[in-house]
Amino acid sequence: MIPRPFEYHVPRTLPEAIALLGELGDEAKLLAGGHSLLPMMKLRFAEPGHLIDLGKLSELKGIREVASEICIGAMTTENELIWSTLLQAKCPLIVEGARQISDPQVRYRGTLGGDISHGDPGNDHPALMLALDASFVLAGGQGKRVVPADGFFLGTYMTLLEPGEIMTEIRIPVPQAGTGSCYAKLKRKTGDFATAAAAVTLRMSNGAVSDVRIALTNVAPTALRAAAAEQSLLGKPLDEAAIAEAARLAMDVCEPVADLRGDIEYKTAMAGEMTRRALTTAYSRAAH
């Protein structure tokens, strides 16, 4: 299908983009990689009269370490995440997650900021961000604010982003040395979204779990943390029984919808299985 006609704007600076967004209001949509927005426009689920292309804003690009955080510009593409030697060395979970997103074509265009801002529970970065305890910089007419990933995702396609705001940067605390992590994703074929997936970060100390975060993809209206599963592991050795119990508790928080990827029972079971696999692999990668 063909989208409705729209006007195309290419601001050169962030203040220019924010001003345009304020001026055009609800009629405008931000365009990043376009790999979620353009399909929706072609199906006429989204019918913006104006597109504001963020592609020329160099301040929204790049990956750098600042003090104890890794700061990633919102317009950084999936492939740039995958190729980043800084992320490979210090935050391999993002690299592992990005490598499992769709196919090479999508990864050349799709951006980290777009994947998060879209608020699609099928997208992979929301759960990765929850597991990494990330925060997001949102800039608007009133200035900038920094919000945690935990609490950012309000519902399907709904986030804390206000209409006049642009996500400019993603901040991730540098994982401590010895942290193990894993993103376990079940998909039917290359290019498909997750049937279910689990992101885990894990630290061990004196034979016991000292820190763990577990987040799930595509088994609820938003990416979600499995808080009870995390709690069940803290302070204990990570043996098979503990992992099985955490997987059971992760399944308890799932509310998937049945679709071509499976029915509710199957998707819930797969969320448990992905949790089990992610915990097992994260453990094998953690120092202990």
Ligand X SMILES: Cc1cc2nc3c(=O)[nH]c(=O)nc-3n(C[C@H](O)[C@H](O)[C@H](O)COP(=O)(O)OP(=O)(O)OC[C@H]3O[C@@H](n4cnc5c(N)ncnc54)[C@H](O)[C@@H]3O)c2cc1C
- Contact between 35 and ligand X by CB under 6 A: the answer reads yes
- Contact between 30 and ligand X by CB under 6 A: the answer reads yes
Residues 6+ apart with CB under 8 A from 265: none
> Could you tell me the two tokens for 156?
């399907």
Rounded to 5 degrees, what are φ and ψ at 44? 60, 25
145, 162 Cβ separation under 8 angstroms: no
The CA distance from 92 to 73, in Å, is 17
- Contact between 118 and ligand X by CB under 6 A: the answer reads yes
Closer to ligand X at the Cβ: 114 or 256?
Answer: 114
The distance of Cα 154 from the centroid of its chain, to the nearest Å, equals 14
For ligand X, the binding residue among 63, 80, 91, 114 (CB under 6 A) is: 114
> Could you tell me the two tokens for 243?
């992992």
- Contact between 274 and ligand X by CB under 6 A: the answer reads no
The CA distance from 166 to 30, in Å, is 8
For ligand X, the binding residue among 11, 21, 29, 175 (CB under 6 A) is: 29
- Contact between 96 and ligand X by CB under 6 A: the answer reads no
For ligand X, the binding residue among 63, 167, 182, 274 (CB under 6 A) is: 167
- Contact between 131 and ligand X by CB under 6 A: the answer reads no
For ligand X, the binding residue among 11, 18, 21, 36 (CB under 6 A) is: 36
Shortest spacing between CB 208 and ligand X, in angstroms: 33
Residue numbers 190-209 binding ligand X by CB under 6 A: 191, 193
- Contact between 115 and ligand X by CB under 6 A: the answer reads yes
- Contact between 76 and ligand X by CB under 6 A: the answer reads no
> Could you tell me the two tokens for 164?
């006049």
Shortest spacing between CB 199 and ligand X, in angstroms: 12
Q: Which stretch binds ligand X (CB under 6 A): 6-14, 26-34, 171-179, 252-260?
A: 26-34
Closer to ligand X at the Cβ: 71 or 106?
Answer: 106
- Contact between 113 and ligand X by CB under 6 A: the answer reads yes
79, 99 Cβ separation under 8 angstroms: no
The CA distance from 136 to 161, in Å, is 10
Classify strands 69-73 and 63-66 as parallel, antiparallel or unpaired: antiparallel
